[in-house]
Chain A
Amino acid sequence: MTDAGRATPNRWKRFSDWDERPLRLDSFAVEDPANGFSAMAGARDPKPGARVVGGCIVELDGVAEADFDMIDLFIARHHLDPDAVEEAMAMPSIEAARKLVDMNVPRQELTRLARGMSPAKLANVVAHLSAMEIAFAYSKMRARRTPGNQGHVTNAKDDPLQLAADAATAVAFGFDEIETTMRVSRNAWSNALACCVGATVGRAGTLFQCSSEEAEELQIGMAGFTSYAETVSVYGTEKAFIDGDDTPWSKAWLTAAYASRGIKMRCTSGAASELLMGFHEAKSLLYLEARCLCMQRAMGAQGTQNGGIDGAPLAATMPGGVRELMAENLIAVWLDLECASGNDARSSESEIRIGAKILPYLIGGSDLICSGFGSILKYDNSFNPSLFNGEEMEDYLVLQRDFEADGGVTPVEESRVLDARRRGVEALSAVFEELELAHVDEAMKASVIAASGSRETESFMPRQVAGISETIKERGITVVDVIKALAARGFHEEAENLLALVKLRVSGDYLQTSAIVRNNRVISAVNDPNDYGGPGSGYRLSVERRAEISAIRDVLDRDEVLRAEATYEAAETRRIAYRSMGPARPGNDPDEVVIGLSPAFGLKLFRTLAGHPLSRVIEAIIAGIGQTGKRARIVRMHHTGDTSFLGLAAARLAGSGIGIGIQAKGTAVIHHKARLPHNNLELFSNAPITTLDHYCGLGRNAAAYAAGDMPEPVVVPTNGEALGARFHARVALIYAIETGLTRDGAVPEEIAVEFAGGTR
């Protein structure tokens, strides 16, 4: 029998710790090119090649014309520009890659080259770039200068009231586009009308789409409720495309169909969809996506939603999968397409992986950084959780502020959000009543306005929603009816906003590449082209935009700290009084421990970072000193606020030679008169987690040192809190208040403290 205590360990317990991390819920796959698991180097990826004879492409990426599949045929006929092929294909890939990251090579020169490049060539070029180079090239090559963002607005009940409230909220946060979809497909018309109304609150021009079945989506668009679409999916292998029940020609037909109805549209594609569908042909994610993107340009779509999309979590299981997602976005913008750059399907349970994933897009900008930021809570997202969700909105807002990067959204004050939600709910209720679709009572409204998510609402039941949706469809209600209803019920501004949006479709200005609406103006790659050419060019934060991004909630300033302290002052005055007894003299009593207070202690500052009233802290220290019969004497220092010098100066005044230095924020030290300033006996540096018991122990230990003993040091246990993040802004402001009161050479002052219970 082996003694259990001596058993050879069979595991480093750190692995058990790691097992508990959210990261371990993610799955990872080995690279297996033959089975389609390769980000950029598929087993059967072709060598780049294209041959033109008599103005026709007769060979493409190693395939002769006679063997072209329908995708090759579409790309050969509609993507490749025979005049550009020879030059572009002859250029060494590394040279083209260098041009992508060369700020002196204009974007137009590169988009011209891309028109002559085959899918394998495009993939081959971007594969030469590191993740950082891809991010930089993306920032240089994206079509529109001003970055934007798109939000999802859905809920688990398809509750129209909540959709209206959340659409109004998403507009307040500044999303350029909002997208909804349904839990139950027959609710499409209700969802569309509800979001359409909610999105009129506060501002005109937020583009809106209702992702649904192709024919229905187009009909909803024609009724005027929606203004864009991004459901036209394409796939990179012939079999996957056919399995998706389409061809490049049928999708091109739809592409024109949306434009013919004045509706903005982009296609959708993304890494790993072919792998998920079982038709990958042993080709890499990147090569197949390059084919998809060439087709989209060939179809004449103004843009794409790519960067993994539903396949992003699968791409992220592979080595280099996340870099591949960036690379495919780069090909999209290199092909001069608007890019709604994915960052939607949540690709990890690890918040670190999520934060890392978004960063290149946040700092580099993108036409739509997320093609669905979940503006709602995860469980309410009918598309499945996004990379970022309602839960993490403030994290994202802070990232914008950290990096001074425009992530396309704006912090909003609490009261403004509440107003927007109320207005959205009231507007929809009015429309429902005016159009005799439903009656909304006050309790329903109240529950939705305040609700963070649908689990908190008492609103429409699913059957009612289905009825409303069917009525809208059957009665042929259009956006004109909605505008009239809004105006008739006094929602004049909302009616005007909705009309302004619908009017955009008459001119078709937003059919151009990368179009969004800002301040009632269409901006696109035509009138706001990305002109990046190095530092000082391209998109830069304006002073106003920087101020907007910086205005997150609950920021500290000096006045705020002083105001907070002032609220504690009154209570402290009732508990303790500090009476000046004149200049402090050195003591002779060997039983005496001197407590050296900082200049602002109890005068301008009244509690420690842990929130303890300073009166209680002094009381605890005095009690600790008194436990073994020693005596505390209190002195206020005016020459320093530094803990070490407070302690050393106190020690030099003490008959025992032992002193305690303490700052108002609670940082404390035990010192001996003969020691060097920074070589103290004990330091209590973690004020935010130092308890009154610890302060009592501090006094007790100081007394023990005074008695010549060597006590066990007091340990303030830490759980690894990021105390700097939590407190340093306050510490800096507080400490400045201490140092502001110091005077060079000022002598220590003897203090008698009087507690409410009596003098000590």
Chain B
Amino acid sequence: MSDKPKVGVDDYPLAEQRPDLVRGRRGKGIADINLKAIMAGEATMPDLTITPEMLRLQADIARAAGRAKLAENLERAAEMADLPQDVVMRVYEILRPGRATSAADLAAIAADLRATYKAERLACFIEEAAAVYERRGLFAFRY
């Protein structure tokens, strides 16, 4: 599933060891993100925003450091980085107990994540939650 790791522990911190790899949302390298660029309006919030690629590199480093679970979280985050904020918050809300009324609600979310955002890991994660919620009666009414 995972590709061959591109970086390891020796490449960390990336901003120091591999600045060539570090780029913001619009492809601007960190060396070009400076006060002058900010004042000129050439560097903006998207340039200060982490990308899926950076998160995957950090996942590689975490795995190389022996932290597979942290790596998996960073890989989920890499998929999530492309999700709009309202979608992130909407999915969070529906994952809370009693928000979804049936496993089908969550299945629909998973399908959308797969189809719209190619977020396979996130979709699987939602599907797993759906099965557990069903089993533990978490679709019960709360308010």
Q: Which of B83, B97, B122 contacts A242 (CB 8 A)?
A: B97
In the complex, the answer to whether A503 meets B133 with C-beta atoms within 8 Å is no
In the complex, the answer to whether A522 meets B13 with C-beta atoms within 8 Å is yes
A224 surroundings in chain B (CB, below 8 A): 45, 48
B57 surroundings in chain A (CB, below 8 A): 508
Residues 11-33 of chain B: 1 if any A CB is under 8 Å from the residue's CB, otherwise 0? 01111100000111000001001
CA distance A77 to B23 in the complex (A): 35
A499 surroundings in chain B (CB, below 8 A): 33-35, 38
A219 surroundings in chain B (CB, below 8 A): 85
In the complex, the answer to whether B67 meets A336 with C-beta atoms within 8 Å is yes
In the complex, the answer to whether B50 meets A512 with C-beta atoms within 8 Å is no
B107 within 8 A of A: no
A254 within 8 A of B: yes
Chain B at the A interface: SS class:
helix
In the complex, the answer to whether B48 meets A503 with C-beta atoms within 8 Å is yes
CA distance A509 to B14 in the complex (A): 7
Q: Which of B14, B49, B97 contacts A262 (CB 8 A)?
A: B49
CA distance A503 to B35 in the complex (A): 11
In the complex, the answer to whether B74 meets A511 with C-beta atoms within 8 Å is yes
User: In this complex, which of A247, A256, A478, A511 has the most chain B Cβ atoms within 10 angstroms of its Cβ?
Assistant: A256
B136 surroundings in chain A (CB, below 8 A): 69-70, 73, 238
Q: A249-B125, A256-B76, A506-B30 are in contact. Are A73 and B38 (CB under 8 A)?
A: no
Residues 485-513 of chain A: 1 if any B CB is under 8 Å from the residue's CB, otherwise 0? 00110001001100100111111110111
Chain A residues numbered 407-459 whose CB sits less than 8 Å from any CB in chain B: none
Q: A249-B125, A300-B73 are in contact. Are A526 and B65 (CB under 8 A)?
A: yes
B89 within 8 A of A: yes
A479 surroundings in chain B (CB, below 8 A): 45, 48
B9 surroundings in chain A (CB, below 8 A): 526-527
A74 surroundings in chain B (CB, below 8 A): 132
CA distance A258 to B80 in the complex (A): 10
Chain B residues numbered 82-114 whose CB sits less than 8 Å from any CB in chain A: 83, 85, 88-89, 91-92, 95-97
Chain A residues numbered 228-274 whose CB sits less than 8 Å from any CB in chain B: 238, 242, 245-247, 249-250, 252-262
B78 surroundings in chain A (CB, below 8 A): 260
In the complex, the answer to whether B97 meets A480 with C-beta atoms within 8 Å is no
How near does chain A come to B11, taking the closest CB pair, in angstroms?
10
In the complex, the answer to whether B45 meets A259 with C-beta atoms within 8 Å is no
CA distance A417 to B44 in the complex (A): 33
CA distance A65 to B76 in the complex (A): 26
User: In this complex, which of A257, A259, A487, A524 has the most chain B Cβ atoms within 10 angstroms of its Cβ?
Assistant: A259
24 A-B pairs whose Cβ atoms sit less than 8 Å apart in the complex = A69-B136, A73-B132, A249-B126, A249-B129, A249-B132, A256-B73, A256-B80, A257-B88, A259-B74, A260-B55, A260-B80, A261-B81, A301-B70, A301-B73, A336-B67, A499-B33, A503-B33, A505-B49, A506-B23, A507-B13, A507-B54, A508-B50, A521-B13, A524-B13
Nearest 3 CB-CB pairs, A to B? A300-B73, A262-B50, A259-B77
State the A residues within 8 Å of B (CB): 69-70, 73-74, 77-79, 108, 111-112, 214-215, 218-219, 222, 224, 238, 242, 245-247, 249-250, 252-262, 297-302, 336, 478-480, 483-484, 487-488, 492, 495-496, 499, 502-509, 511-513, 521-522, 524-527
- 10 more A-B residue pairs beyond the given contacts A259-B74, A487-B38, A499-B38, with a C-beta to C-beta distance below 8 A: A73-B136, A242-B97, A300-B72, A487-B39, A503-B15, A506-B47, A507-B22, A512-B65, A513-B67, A527-B13
